Structure 1
Amino acid sequence: MGDESQGMGKIITTEDLIHEFRFEQIVPDAILDRPITGSDMNRPGLLMAGFLKFFPEERIQLLGRTEISFFEQMTERKQWECADRLCRHPETPCIIVSRQMEVPEILIEVATRYRLPILRSRLATTKLAGQLQRFLEHTFAPETQMHGVLVDVYGIGILITGNSGIGKSETALELIKRGHRLVADDAVVIRQVEENTLYGESPELLNNLLEIRGLGILNAMTLFGAGAVRAKKKIELVIHLEAWRDDVAYDRLGLDEHTVKILDTEIPSITLPVRPGRNLAVIIEVAAMNQRLKMMGYNAAKELSEKLMATIENHDE
């Protein structure tokens, strides 16, 4: 299946979060290089109410209207105690306040003492939490890089793999000319953003680039327009190209369904033998359409097999 190297998502800091979401910074001289080590967040209502057990201090602490209102109705002594409980942990990356709400002065003062960043957003709490969750899940998703080409054919993300020089990029070029879209050539960064779901994209350095032996490096977007490329795509089929071998009995019916494991996800897989005269672009187009039919519950090979079995049974009777 080509070269594969696996790793986890990168570690980010509170400063990265500020740049990504353009948060307003409330506490001057806060420590902004605090690491964010996971995709989970916490709304610290229980901590504010005095329940300290199981408090996940390593998570981003998100304060919405409910938490701020609860804090403001406390006595001044309780506010000092609550703010200290919330801000004293060095593992806490930051506190984020939604809805552009006023941050209580006591909370700012305690956070300043501990140099804990307090960030503020205009977004409603639920919308802010959703955007943060998506960003963090993408960042910390299990990740691998594979040698291959990723294309979007009729809405199906197809990862084309095979040995160097087998014709992956040339096939991708023909597919682009036929109206399909390039996601990545040569190196594909693959992330498992959720269970059994893989998304592929190009390394930033290789965005929109295609390498064709004899021509060199081509920019697919410059040559064919913005509609010829896309940033990322869900991977739903792997097609492995290999040189035709006369001593191999290739599948002619398609009854046997094969998969390949990438990270922790099994992806349907097809092996296509390559030899002069085979139009790989057309075959891949048909493979994409056939995969869509299978996802909709129709399998031509199984239907033929069932008809043959029925004919044999009727003949035996």
Structure 2
Amino acid sequence: MVVVTTRDVMERFHLQVVSGGEGLGRYIATSDLSRPGLEMAGYFMHYPADRVQLLGKTEVSFFDMLDASVKKERMLKLCSPDTPAIIIARGMHVPEALIEASNETQVPVLTTTMTTTRFSSKLTNYLESRLAPTTAVHGVLVDVYGIGVLIVGKSGVGKSETALELVKKGHRLVADDSVEIRQEAEDFLVGSAPPLLEHLLEIRGIGIIDIMTLFGASAVRPYKRITLVVELEIWDDEKVYDRLGLEEEKLKIIDTELTKLTIPVRPGRNVSVLLEVAAMNYRLKRLGINAAEEFSRRLDDVINANEREDY
């Protein structure tokens, strides 16, 4: 399970610790941020205490207008046991009541020189990426003509050899053997290699090879969005394979359904070329050009024309 702490955020964005440094190990469990304007006014009924609290110019200027008698009370409620951190944007001064409440409750208070909107966007993107649902899939991920192709199949079917041939043709390897997948947004899966296997490819009979060392930095990339899954399987004479491409198979990974193709493998078939064509054909379909549907339409036109001639 991926864990993000306040210290991680501090180091990532070079934030300055003002008070409550003992609480930098607090966990951040959600990517949602809170701008506690209503809480400053005293409304804590639905206070999202488990979120990072971000104070901008509006919140701080309003707080300065409050009576001294209520300032500490509001800040103590803001610094709840579940609050991971309170961050002041624009490098503004930190209210003394907040510093006192922070030291008392050990809720870290940090500052950034970035504007509130810019920092909010950057922090949200960072937390969504780090806290995204993840899984691992046995396979190979390759960038083919800009399409992230996840190659799956039984061990020994030729996934790594196909990836090697694609790299020799100028395409880029992302991960071999184990692909770590994160769902960073709805219908948006990103695959990468575990740090231990980065840039490495295992070829039976040769061993482990370093793709970046052999083919250069342009032959690898650290991550890629996955949009197409290709399953390689040994050719089965008893099985009927799709020859037109009218039916689209789907594979669900985490909460996203991906287009899946099944390619039978046997001696004489150039699998790397088939994968290149599959990637290009997938791009054409996204642009609204579907060769299978066009063939079906032409076939229907011929049949209808023959029927009219019979009459």
TM-score by length of 2: 0.96
The alpha carbon displacement at 1:309 in A equals 0.4
The counterpart of 2:205, out of the listed 196, 209, 214, is 214
1:1-317 paired onto structure 2 within 5 Å: 9-27=1-19, 29-87=21-79, 89-317=80-308
Deviation string, structure 1 residues 286-308 (Cα, Å, up to 9, x no partner): 10000001111110000000110
- Provide the aligned length of Structure 1 versus Structure 2: 308
The alpha carbon displacement at 1:71 in A equals 1.3
The alpha carbon displacement at 1:207 in A equals 1.1
For residues 175 and 155 of structure 1, what CA distance do their matches in structure 2 show? Answer: 13
For residues 94 and 153 of structure 1, what CA distance do their matches in structure 2 show? Answer: 42
Worse overlay, 219-228 or 284-293:
219-228
- Secondary structure class of the residue paired with 2:107: coil
Query: Identity of aligned pairs, percent?
Result: 52
Partner AA of 2:57 in structure 1? R
Partner AA of 1:170 in structure 2? E
**Is contact 2:180-2:193 (8 Å) kept?**
yes
- Secondary structure class of the residue paired with 1:254: coil
The alpha carbon displacement at 1:11 in A equals 2.3
- Secondary structure class of the residue paired with 2:23: coil
Unaligned stretches of 5+ residues in structure 1:
1-8
**Is contact 2:20-2:105 (8 Å) kept?**
no
The alpha carbon displacement at 1:114 in A equals 1.2
Deviation string, structure 1 residues 241-269 (Cα, Å, up to 9, x no partner): 00111111211111111111111111000
For residues 71 and 30 of structure 1, what CA distance do their matches in structure 2 show? Answer: 25
Partner AA of 2:55 in structure 1? L
For residues 196 and 59 of structure 2, what CA distance do their matches in structure 1 show? Answer: 43
The alpha carbon displacement at 1:152 in A equals 0.6
For residues 200 and 297 of structure 2, what CA distance do their matches in structure 1 show? Answer: 46
Partner AA of 2:99 in structure 1? I
Residues 29 and 287 of structure 1, relative CA distance in 2, 3 Å threshold: closer
TM-align CA RMSD: 1.2
Partner AA of 1:118 in structure 2? V
Residues 233 and 156 of structure 1, relative CA distance in 2, 3 Å threshold: same
The alpha carbon displacement at 1:123 in A equals 1.5
For residues 202 and 147 of structure 2, what CA distance do their matches in structure 1 show? Answer: 22
